[in-house]
Structure 1
């Protein structure tokens, strides 16, 4: 949902090097964990579907305050997991940059932003399920908080880096970016609700895709209905 819509050369070289290095480090850890741990077949299939859906909706840009859109990273994280979710964020950003949606030099920063959305959404969703939350509020809340974390990280990256050629002092830039972050937080709520409906539907037809087979079976055997 959050994305840095700035052109090439907008960040100083030190910032490009910093965010690219951190982004490469994150993806390196993700690839190492994937190679070390086994990935279930259904997760790979979900990752492919999630990447395609995320990329498609990612291109629908609303030209408001630098551009806002949905990208379903919260949903991708919940379905595919944090590791594949981070890789999907990288792939979607690479293809988007190839189409001119986002600067190539900002791949590291944007991957960090979108990967954080998927990772945070996944862990919050699992935590809420362990607290016996129903799938709809758990997924809605998790996606909203994940997307909010990405929006805040996006704003922090811009403020820390500064923007080349901008006449705004750092304080005024912070205020302007805060407005952009606030707008993205509003969109996060909308996308969170959409994610909740999708997850609720999947739970009703294929709870195994959400990792709820054991929980659903236990509740049914005990005579408990959701």
Structure 2
């Protein structure tokens, strides 16, 4: 949902280096936890399906204020878990950048944005389920929270980095970015409702996919946890 659509050379070099290092650090930590905890076969299948669905929806861009779209990262986080969700965010961004959807140099920044959506959505869903919320409100609220977090992180990255060649003072840039963040928050609500409907349906036919009933009778079958 939130995504930095700016082209190559938009961010100064120091910002590209900073976000690339932070993104690399995040993915390295995720890979370490995945290797340490292992992955079950059904989790790999969920990750593949989630990556394909996210990538397909991701390419449907609405050309408003730099471009807005859905990407199902909240749903991916809820189903695949925070670690695999972060890896899916990386894969989707790599393929999207290869198609010109966002600069290659912004892979680190965009991975941070989208991985945060999956991570926040997963833990919010688990927390709300622990409070005995029904599936639909917990999934829709969790996805909305995750996507909202991504929108704010996206805005912060742009404001902190600045935009090469922009005549806007930092204060005016902040106002402009705030408008973009607000627009993405509106889309987050829509995508959150859609996520809630999907998770509610899956819970009715395959509750193990959303962590309600594990294949072995244990909890947390939705994905690798942190």
1:138 has 2:138 as partner: yes
Off by >4 Å, runs of 4+ in structure 1: none
CA distance in 2, matches of 1:87, 1:178: 28
Equivalenced residues, count: 215
Matches within 5 A, 1:110-149: 110-149=110-149
Q: CA deviation at 1:135?
A: 0.6
Kindly report which structure 2 residues correspond to 1:58-207, keeping only aligned pairs within 5 A, or say none: 58-207=58-207
Unmatched 5+ stretches in structure 1: 218-226
Instruction: Tell me by how many angstroms 1:133 deviates.
Output: 0.5
| 1:13-92 matches, cutoff 5 A | 13-92=13-92
Cα distance, 1:213 vs structure 2:
1.3
Cross-structure match for 1:7: 7
RMSD over aligned Cα atoms: 0.8
Separation of aligned partners in 1, 2:9 and 2:94: 17
Output the TM-score relative to the length of structure 1: 0.94
SS of structure 2 residue aligned to 1:213:
coil
In structure 1, C-alpha distance between the alignment counterparts of 2:27 and 2:7, rounded to whole Å: 23
Structure exhibiting the larger radius of gyration computed from Cα positions = 1
Unmatched 5+ stretches in structure 2: 218-226
Alignment of 1:207-218 (within 5 A): 207-213=207-213
CA drift of 1:38 comes to 2.0
TM-score (norm 2): 0.94
Give the distance between the partners of 1:199 and 1:131, measured in 2 at CA.
17
